[in-house]
């Protein structure tokens, strides 16, 4: 298994920062980050106070677990939260073997085991969507419910810009010539309403420094093969699935959410008046949907359709 440090080679400053900043206490932030080693990888995570129920939160791309900053306190009222930067994303160490949708789904199951989360709810917007659906299909009943959306899931592919260009480019050479901070900064201009705190913006930008952004692209470039398999798996997913999508998402059009809604056994679809970054731009609505789902909505998902 090939693994990679989350910091550029020879970056002694970053390495020292990683050693001394094992717990990050952002002055005005609700999320306090830590690192732990899982399967030989340095994984960044954050945890809330203990509750009876558990929820695992997976970072979107090209962001980090700080994407949950605007919803953290409300979600933490309902469940013990463990938010994670997936390997190769945010500030967690990369493993080339995990840069595919199915492999990441299998890792998510092992991640839940590593944190001792028994039958947790799992929230995985964006890149987490396909991974969570594969995970639920692999071990039925292991995950109590899923919250997904804003992630490619339809096959044949239904992608918008810039994701379509990233997936379909013949190779990654052209992207290696571009400053990754410029690429991420350009993507973040799609955040329409949320005033991104400076420390969160810097966290996103620094997360994909060096070759980290280009290498993370390998994950979405598996969509043409992985989503073809996922299409056939969806009707066997028994786990309740809340799908939340932005109605004006130009990167991952809402047809992806509708594709899931039409094929899953226990879906609930909500399309919000927002763009791609619905968890930030429509944080109040997003938190309300997730907490309502956790408080019992998941238990009745699919019952109307079944009746």
pLDDT in tens, 17-72: 333 223 334 445 689 999 999 999 999 999 999 999 999 999 999 999 999 999 99
pLDDT (average), residues 173-200: 97
Whether residue 303 is predicted with pLDDT greater than 90 in this model: the reply is no
Residues 6, 208 contacting (CB under 8 angstroms): no
pLDDT band for 2, please (50, 70, 90 cuts). Answer: low
How confident is the model over 203-220, as pLDDT tens digits? 999 999 999 999 999 999
pTM above 0.75, yes or no: yes
Task: Give the start-to-end residue ranges of the domains of the chain.
Answer: 14-297
CATH fold of 14-297, please?
Answer: Rossmann fold (3.40.50)
The residue assigned the tokens 């050693």 is 19
Environment class of 197 (CB within 10 Å of its CB; exposed 0-12, middle 13-18, buried 19+)? middle
Which regions of 31-138 does DSSP assign to beta strands (E)?
32-38, 41-47, 54-58, 80-84, 94-95, 121-123
Q: Calculate the average pLDDT of the chain.
A: 92
């Amino acid at each position: 298994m090939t693994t990679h440090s989350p910091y550029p080679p020879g970056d002694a400053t970053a390495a020292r920062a990683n050693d001394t900043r094992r717990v990050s206490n952002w002055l005005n932030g609700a999320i306090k980050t830590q690192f732990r080693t899982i399967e030989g990888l340095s994984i960044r995570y954050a945890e809330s106070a203990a509750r009876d129920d558990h929820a695992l939160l997976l970072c979107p791309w090209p962001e980090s677990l700080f994407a949950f900053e605007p919803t953290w306190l409300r979600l933490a009222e309902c469940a013990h939260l463990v938010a994670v930067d997936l390997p190769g994303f945010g500030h967690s160490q990369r493993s080339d073997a995990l840069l595919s949708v199915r492999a990441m789904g299998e890792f998510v199951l092992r991640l839940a085991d590593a944190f001792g989360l028994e039958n947790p709810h799992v929230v995985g917007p964006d890149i987490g969507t396909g991974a969570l659906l594969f995970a639920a299909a692999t071990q039925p009943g292991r995950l109590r419910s899923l919250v997904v959306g804003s992630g490619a899931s339809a096959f044949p592919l239904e992608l918008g810009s810039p994701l379509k260009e990233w997936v379909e480019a013949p190779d990654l050479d052209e992207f290696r010539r571009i400053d990754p901070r410029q690429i991420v900064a350009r993507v973040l201009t799609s955040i329409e309403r949320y005033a991104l705190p400076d420390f969160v913006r810097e966290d996103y930008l620094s997360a994909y420094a060096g070759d980290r952004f280009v290498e993370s692209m390998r994950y979405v470039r598996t969509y043409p093969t992985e989503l073809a398999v996922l299409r056939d798996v969806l009707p066997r997913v028994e786990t309740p699935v809340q799908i939340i999508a932005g109605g004006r998402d130009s990167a991952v059009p809402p047809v992806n959410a509708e594709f899931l809604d039409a094929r899953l056994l226990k879906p609930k679809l909500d399309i919000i008046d927002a763009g791609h970054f619905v968890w930030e731009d429509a944080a109040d609505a997003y938190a309300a949907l997730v907490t309502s789902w956790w408080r019992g909505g998941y238990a009745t998902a699919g019952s109307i359709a079944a009746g």
